[in-house]
Amino acid sequence: MSLYLDHLATLQRQAEAALAATGFDAMLVAAGIEKFAFLDDRPYLFQPNPHFKHWLPLTQHPHCWLAVRPGLKPRVVYYQPHDYWHVPPSEPRGEWVDAVELVVIREPEQAAKALADLVTPRTAILGEADAALPGLTPNNPEALLNRLHWARGVKSPYELEQMRAAQRRAVPGHLAAQAAFLRGESEAGIHRAYLLATGHTDRDLPYTNIIGLNEHAAVLHYQYQDEQAPAESRSFLIDAGAQVNGYASDITRTWVAAGHDEFAALVAAMEREQLALVDEVREGVDYRDIHLSTHRRVARVLREAGLVNMGEEAMVAEGVTKPFFPHGIGHLLGLQVHDVGGFMASETGGVTTKPEGHRYLRLTRLLQPGMVVTIEPGLYFIPMLLDELRASPNAAPVDWAAVERLSRYGGIRIEDDVACRAGGEAPENLTRDAFAAVA
């Protein structure tokens, strides 16, 4: 059996168990609709329902539906309009076609008739409210969604293959972006080099690229791309991914121009600690512990670099590391860049809390084999957070002259996508493997 067909069988088993446990007979999933800008006929970029693309490699197909019933093939209602204004979806093809009961429709409203025999008070309908059709109103039952979201945390072999492919697609872009930075190109020019090397357009990216030169690297989600190159390109932070069959990669690198040795040493120290944190991704480990470990490691870097003259444990206890590392160590990754289910206590719901004082952490679960997480420690020089530290009782141990020198580089973030393995085995670093394959 192929990886995809095995994946489909796994989803079928999970869905049947979830339906039985929550009292539903069938599950209908709307791919979603195309949305338009207010008072305009210009559509926004279509984003499919993740529950739809979990089953099918159809990421640009609005108005489609999926029906899941115990003991039967999934039914796919495939919208293929007769259209001369736009390129319509191609004829259904691929391995998924023979695995489903296929119904082709020409108008979105025809989906209601194609699914009418499955609609009862015991039918779960998953989707956004605007996907509703007569007789098909999404009810999104929480108990069912909880079970589906919990299960999505663990990736099938098919999903891991898509995510490896997404790494391989992103890595040439990162290398092209590095080369463009070293040539002195602008942020916009670096972004274009990334797109060309990945074969993506902006429409294809799993999230908007973060392309930050110099001080812009201190803005965690820097959202602009200057067309004008700075007079001097000292440092460069790129947070950019790629997408294959609806699965994302999420990679961050920080590069330094030649002759900036002090900041280069800081990047090397963070690289060392990042790799050590990757090695902490093991079955049964509490992801919150990896986050807290990150603060201890950032404290070590700050102390060794002479930026803070304070014991490492004291630095963490007093919150001195937080202005330099103000976000979480990472998140689940998969069909969504920040994949769902990160805070769940069990398949029936509930919340596993974040460590006190660490509100930006996006994952609090115990790690299981097949989970893919990001490991992305950072060390930044963010003016507003440094001003707060300077005004605090912990200002004295900080070498503010060194902080001032380093602030012109913005900051550092290094991010790999990492798969947890079973039995205490070392994790699979999807990102480093992809870089190594290119090298």
Same domain, 8 and 105: yes
- Percent residues over pLDDT 70 in the chain: 100
- Percent residues over pLDDT 90 in the chain: 98
Same domain, 278 and 331: yes
Q: How does pLDDT run across 230-260, given as a tens digit for each residue?
A: 999 999 999 999 999 999 999 999 999 999 9
Same domain, 127 and 196: no
| 195-223: b (≥16 Cβ within 10 Å) or e | bebbebeeebbbeebbbbbbbbbbbbebe
Q: How does pLDDT run across 31-84, given as a tens digit for each residue?
A: 999 999 999 999 999 999 999 999 999 999 999 999 999 999 999 999 999 999
Q: How does pLDDT run across 319-331, given as a tens digit for each residue?
A: 999 999 999 999 9
**In 3D, which of 50, 29, 57 has the Cα closest to residue 115?**
29
Report the C-alpha gap between 269 and 428 in whole angstroms: 22
The structural domain count of the chain equals: 2
- pLDDT in the model for residue 183: 98
Same domain, 192 and 254: yes
Q: What value does the mean pLDDT take over residues 294-317? A: 98
124 in Cβ contact with 28 (< 8 Å): yes
CA 218 to centroid of chain Cα atoms: 20
Report the C-alpha gap between 402 and 305 in whole angstroms: 9
Same domain, 56 and 201: no
- Per the structure, the complete domain to which residue 34 belongs is given by 3-152
Domain finish residue from 152, 174, 191: 152
CA 380 to centroid of chain Cα atoms: 21
- Where residue 15 sits, what CATH number does that domain have? 3.40.350.10
Domain finish residue from 137, 152, 167: 152
**In 3D, which of 207, 215, 229 has the Cα closest to residue 333?**
207
**Average of per-residue pLDDT values in the chain:** 97
- Where residue 320 sits, what CATH number does that domain have? 3.90.230.10
CA angle 106, 108, 114 (to 5 degrees): 80
Report the C-alpha gap between 216 and 382 in whole angstroms: 10
281 in Cβ contact with 375 (< 8 Å): yes
Domain finish residue from 101, 125, 152: 152
Residue 293 CB partners (closer than 8 Å, separation 6+): 277, 280
Q: What value does the mean pLDDT take over residues 212-240? A: 98
Q: How confident is the model at residue 439 (pLDDT cuts 50, 70, 90)?
A: confident
Q: How does pLDDT run across 93-102, given as a tens digit for each residue?
A: 999 999 999 9
Same domain, 320 and 241: yes
**In 3D, which of 315, 293, 314 has the Cα closest to residue 375?**
293
Same domain, 236 and 264: yes
Is residue 333 classed as helix, strand or coil in its secondary structure? Answer: coil
Q: What value does the mean pLDDT take over residues 224-229? A: 98
Query: What is the model's pTM?
Result: 0.97
Task: Give Rg (Cα) of the chain.
Answer: 24
399 in Cβ contact with 314 (< 8 Å): no
Q: How does pLDDT run across 328-359, given as a tens digit for each residue?
A: 999 999 999 999 999 999 999 999 999 999 99
Q: How does pLDDT run across 418-436, given as a tens digit for each residue?
A: 999 999 899 999 999 999 9
Same domain, 374 and 352: yes
Q: How confident is the model at residue 1 (pLDDT cuts 50, 70, 90)?
A: low
Residue 102 CB partners (closer than 8 Å, separation 6+): 75, 76, 78, 92
Query: What are all long-range contacts of 201-208, with beta carbons under 8 Å and residues at least 24 apart?
Result: 203/45, 204/242, 204/243, 205/240, 205/241, 205/242, 205/243, 206/166, 206/241, 206/242, 206/243, 206/248, 206/249, 206/250, 206/337, 207/241, 207/248, 207/250, 207/337
101 in Cβ contact with 115 (< 8 Å): no
Q: How confident is the model at residue 26 (pLDDT cuts 50, 70, 90)?
A: very high
Name the E strands within 370-413.
Answer: 372-375, 378-380, 411-413
CA 43 to centroid of chain Cα atoms: 24
Report the C-alpha gap between 317 and 357 in whole angstroms: 11
